[in-house]
């Protein structure tokens, strides 16, 4: 980009800021993190310019300084101007905490910026760190903020990065990590997070799962969406509550996974008489299996919140009961919502011992075992790689077979970087274009899907498959035959993902 072209870009920043002010916004944040243009100019790793915007530190900060100064002149002294920039790019020769402190100190002297926000990573593999998912600690990068805050010389610093609760936010400020807190995914999950925090209603805040589903949706060119907030972006999202039903009905919800829980909660809030049948004493359905896997326990907060809402809303919970038709008919329901989930099918044309990933108990032992484990992956979900993590912790050798040409196809890109990183760190042997044929006498035979050539893996003591799922809809079929209006939701209707389960649960309850 030539100097003239760069100046034209600077003009666009100013035009956008001026337009936003006319629209009623009180300020802007210059996005200088994650590898975007400002990062590229600030960073000695990416800036190879030989004009007045390249080389020395003063030259590399010149673009930001000039843009901020013109915005200030155009929009006035009361218009807020912030800068988000890397605290650590995560690449050798790039912006690390020391270089970030130097950049901050230079820009802080101008007093043209109203705050600094420090995020991490760039468009290399370090991009994983800019939206730390459930595998990162809460407030994972606050130590970087603590290092950089003194360099701001009194200019406020915004602490960001996996800060989930008001308690965590207060602790970050009290601990010297920042003067204010930046939230994104927490607000996507619950637009009323600030008001609930202000009122001391911390337990009412709908938790973010930090699975980065929302990030994956927008980067796939789709509208912003969140797993556990069906009202996101809708009119009236703040303070939303389902409308009271014109007629109170007796409703049976069968299955206490995320879909069933959401349906029961919203139906009860609408004024219906709701009974929720749970096969297990522990609500949450098969999501409890995923919660047991390494790094996946953030979903516990989602289930705990839904259970709390269910009990608060007056849902009658029949737990530890395998609901059959007679048990359901005994309460004389006028409507039935079936959320009985799904199961993974056995790989086709495979002979030998093995079990599905959902039937494998990650908590059965934490001891190191002998022999080789093999995981066959046709699912490509984050949960499947949670199984891989658990197997790698227990067995000295793990093979991951998939018939596809790559893995983690159903994981958003940022979290997929983490999947690859953990598998490679654990020395998992990934075999692409492979399908299992048979397991006999501790030898697993697999076939290359392109050539048909057979290969063998010796000393196999465990074979686990994660495959496309089949709806567990037998009960729904029988209920439909009784003439009671019955609706299937979640995997029972069509096996998909957690987003579909929760959103369908809410839609079914509203439709009652």
Instruction: Locate 289 and state its tokens.
Output: 């299996």
Instruction: Locate 481 and state its tokens.
Output: 């035959």
* Domains defined along the chain, listed by start: 3-183 (3.20.20.70), 250-343+471-510 (3.40.50.720), 355-467 (3.50.50.60)
Instruction: Locate 376 and state its tokens.
Output: 């066959």
Burial 65-90 (b: 16+ CB within 10 A, else e): bbbbebbbeebeeebebbbbbbbbbb
Nearest CA to 44 out of 98, 83, 111 is that of: 98
Distance (Å, whole) CA 194 – CA 191:
8
**Residue 206: what pLDDT?**
97
Residues 6 or more apart from 268 whose CB is under 8 A from it? 274, 310, 313, 314, 315
**Residue 365: what pLDDT?**
75
**Residue 361: what pLDDT?**
84
Q: At what angle do helices 3-22 and 57-75 cross, to 10 degrees?
A: 30
Residues 6 or more apart from 174 whose CB is under 8 A from it? none
Q: Given the structure tokens 């207060």, which residue do they identify?
A: 170
**Residue 321: what pLDDT?**
79
Nearest CA to 140 out of 158, 121, 161 is that of: 161
Residue by residue, pLDDT tens for the chain (512 residues) are 899 999 999 999 999 999 999 999 999 999 999 999 999 999 999 999 999 999 999 999 999 999 999 999 999 999 999 999 999 999 999 999 999 999 999 999 999 999 999 999 999 999 999 999 999 999 999 999 999 999 999 999 999 999 999 999 999 999 999 999 999 999 999 999 999 999 999 999 999 999 999 999 999 999 999 999 999 999 999 999 999 999 999 999 999 999 999 999 999 999 999 999 999 999 999 999 999 999 999 999 999 999 999 999 999 999 997 899 999 999 999 999 999 999 999 999 999 999 999 999 877 777 899 999 999 999 999 999 999 999 999 999 999 999 999 999 999 999 999 999 999 999 999 999 999 999 999 999 999 999 999 999 999 999 999 999 999 999 999 999 999 999 999 999 999 999 999 999 999 999 99
Instruction: Locate 107 and state its tokens.
Output: 């820009």
Distance (Å, whole) CA 41 – CA 27:
23
Instruction: Locate 399 and state its tokens.
Output: 């093979």
* Cβ–Cβ under 8 Å, residues 419 and 211: no
Residues 6 or more apart from 22 whose CB is under 8 A from it? none
Distance (Å, whole) CA 264 – CA 278:
12
Distance (Å, whole) CA 355 – CA 248:
44
Instruction: Give me the residues paired with residue 120 across strands.
Output: 88
**Residue 477: what pLDDT?**
97
């Amino acid at each position: 980009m030539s100097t003239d072209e760069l100046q034209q870009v600077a003009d666009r920043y100013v035009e956008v800021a001026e337009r936003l002010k006319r629209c009623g916004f009180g300020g802007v944040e210059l996005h200088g993190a994650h590898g975007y243009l400002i990062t590229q100019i600030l960073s000695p790793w990416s800036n190879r310019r030989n004009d007045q915007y390249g080389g020395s530190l003063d030259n590399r900060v010149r673009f930001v300084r000039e843009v901020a100064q013109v915005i200030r002149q155009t929009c006035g002294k009361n218009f807020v101007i912030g800068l988000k920039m890397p605290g650590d790019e995560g690449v050798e020769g790039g912006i690390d905490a020391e270089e970030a402190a130097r950049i901050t100190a230079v820009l802080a002297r101008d007093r043209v910026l109203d705050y600094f926000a420090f995020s991490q990573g760039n468009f290399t593999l370090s991009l994983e760190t800019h939206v730390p998912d459930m595998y990162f600690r809460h407030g994972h990068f606050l130590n970087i903020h603590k290092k950089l805050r003194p360099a701001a010389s009194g200019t406020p610093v915004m602490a960001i990065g996996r800060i989930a609760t008001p308690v965590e936010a207060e602790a970050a400020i009290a601990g010297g990590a920042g003067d204010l807190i930046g939230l994104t995914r927490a607000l996507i999950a619950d637009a009323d997070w600030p008001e609930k925090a202000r009122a001391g209603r911390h337990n009412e805040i709908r938790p973010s799962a930090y699975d980065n589903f929302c990030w994956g949706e927008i980067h796939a060119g789709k509208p912003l969406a969140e797993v556990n907030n069906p009202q996101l972006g809708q009119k009236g999202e703040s303070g939303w509550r389902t409308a009271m039903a014109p007629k109170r009905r007796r409703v049976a919800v069968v299955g206490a996974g995320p879909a069933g829980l959401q349906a029961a909660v919203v139906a009860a809030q609408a004024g219906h008489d709701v009974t929720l049948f749970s096969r297990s004493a522990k609500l949450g359905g098969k999501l409890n299996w995923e919660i047991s896997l390494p790094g996946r326990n953030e979903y516990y907060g989602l289930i705990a919140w839904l259970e709390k809402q269910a009990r608060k809303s007056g849902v009658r919970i029949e737990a530890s009961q395998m609901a059959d038709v007679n048990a359901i008919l005994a309460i004389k329901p006028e409507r039935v919502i079936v959320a009985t989930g799904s199961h993974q099918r056995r790989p086709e044309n495979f002979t030998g011992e093995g079990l599905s990933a959902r039937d494998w108990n990650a908590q059965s032992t934490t001891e190191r075992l002998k022999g080789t484990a093999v995981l066959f992956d046709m699912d490509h979900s984050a949960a499947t790689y949670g199984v891989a993590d658990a197997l790698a912790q227990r067995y000295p050798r793990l093979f991951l077979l998939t018939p596809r040409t790559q893995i983690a196809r159903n994981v958003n890109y940022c979290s997929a970087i983490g999947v690859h990183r953990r598998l490679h760190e654990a020395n998992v042997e990934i075999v692409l274009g492979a399908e299992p044929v048979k397991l006999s006498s501790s030898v697993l035979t697999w076939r290359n899907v392109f050539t048909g050539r057979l290969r063998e893996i010796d000393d196999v003591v465990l074979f686990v498959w994660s495959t496309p799922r089949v709806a567990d809809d037998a009960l729904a079929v029988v209920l439909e035959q009784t003439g009671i209006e019955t609706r299937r939701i979640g995997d029972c209707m069509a096996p998909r993902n957690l987003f579909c389960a929760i959103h369908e649960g809410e839609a079914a309850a509203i439709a009652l």
